[in-house]
Structure 1
């Protein structure tokens, strides 16, 4: 009980939740930017231009097959960015490649007849993509994009060890310097684990419910 009182103080909890806010902010920005750039990459890879298709394919395959931790170091050290912009940029670089494949799958899942219908109405390829294909594809791929959000949130824990960014896990590491007893360490790490679980569980449940709701609406 005494150890719990020493760990769960108001200043400690405020410090931890400041780290959580930073984790969620970085994750949100990364997923928004990654969805934008991932869509561009998916369209390039599905397009007719062999050059654009090659560029997108090389980017996706290279980035996906190199650990995200390495991209964090590369962005931070080579481009001399501050910690938060470096974190957002590195996660955008890495997650864009993953989302490009999710979005490409969503685009390919729209029946070819929808494109033909758009052409018959005199729509340009850009109009067909924007007003016909993408709205239908979003229904298929949004749950997977939301699930990717969970991966981004968990992987932000790399940022403290790589570039000393005080996100959720980093805040626990800083607080750990004040404690040395096994019980205190267990409670502190246990608290961080519970926070990660609760946040990611809520997002996962939302993704599942969205998938079920859209699946039932199509029946």
Structure 2
């Protein structure tokens, strides 16, 4: 093991460049997958004829496929039908598709966790379905969804390493290139790589635990009658 040779400024900067790509891909994928997953989850919860059933089938198919297969599909198969994506956007597309399916289930489960009585009370107070969703269901459901959503984001960040298979210049890919310089660099470089992943993921896990603790503490429930009165004011 050659820690001194491995931990040069040039190698560290190269790894940092890869880590920035990892964070960029993860950040964009998180935003897109959360938006798409939320829409899909709400549509499934609404039980719209045909639409909800079709989305349920699509979500189940994606959730039961390996992410690696989806990465292969976006990078190698899509060009066969005329859709060619750059490596970074192929990785983002694959991660977004996979994570959106996962997040849609979290959103749907969060919405289903709200007691039916609150929904009925809100509707009987004069709120429309959309107003009930906006002012009664979603505020409570979001608080319950935050911890599992953060945990899913942690998984997404770690899953970016799978994009090494299509040569995305992310952290794991760059670590392999540095290791190729000298066999004695393998342990030092992988240790440094692990520390970089751990630093971000552990911070997010602490955030998830903190949010989960706050979720378990007593909270004031949304009063549907007050919501109806405020809307009518």
The TM-score by the shorter chain falls in which range?
A: over 0.9
SS state at 1:156 partner: helix
Deviates more, 1:202-211 or 1:30-39: 30-39
Q: Counterparts of 1:9-20 in structure 2 under 5 Å? A: 9-20=8-19
Aligned to 1:171: 174
Normalising to structure 1: TM-score of the pair?
A: 0.92
Aligned with 1:103 (options 98, 103, 107) = 107
Q: Counterparts of 1:22-41 in structure 2 under 5 Å? A: 22-41=21-40
Q: Counterparts of 1:189-208 in structure 2 under 5 Å? A: 189-208=190-209
Aligned to 1:5: 4
Asked which structure has the greater CA Rg, the reply is 2
CA drift at 1:114? 2.4
After superposition, the CA RMSD in angstroms is 1.6
SS state at 1:157 partner: helix
Aligned to 2:128: 124
Q: Which runs of 5+ in 2 are unaligned?
A: 221-233
CA drift at 1:6? 1.0
CA drift at 1:84? 1.3
Q: Which runs of 5+ in 1 are unaligned?
A: none
1:82 corresponds to 2:83: no
Distance in 2, matches of 1:214 and 1:166, equals 38
> CA offsets per residue over residues 96-125 of structure 1, 9 Å max, x none?
111111111110111112222332333222
Normalising to structure 2: TM-score of the pair?
A: 0.87
| Cα distance change, pair 217–16 in 1 and its aligned pair in 2 (3 A) | farther
Distance in 1, matches of 2:172 and 2:29, equals 18
1:68 corresponds to 2:72: no
> CA offsets per residue over residues 168-206 of structure 1, 9 Å max, x none?
11110121221123xx21111111112212211111011
In the alignment of these two chains, the number of paired residues is 215
SS state at 1:129 partner: helix
Runs of 4+ that moved beyond 6 A: none
1:180 corresponds to 2:179: no
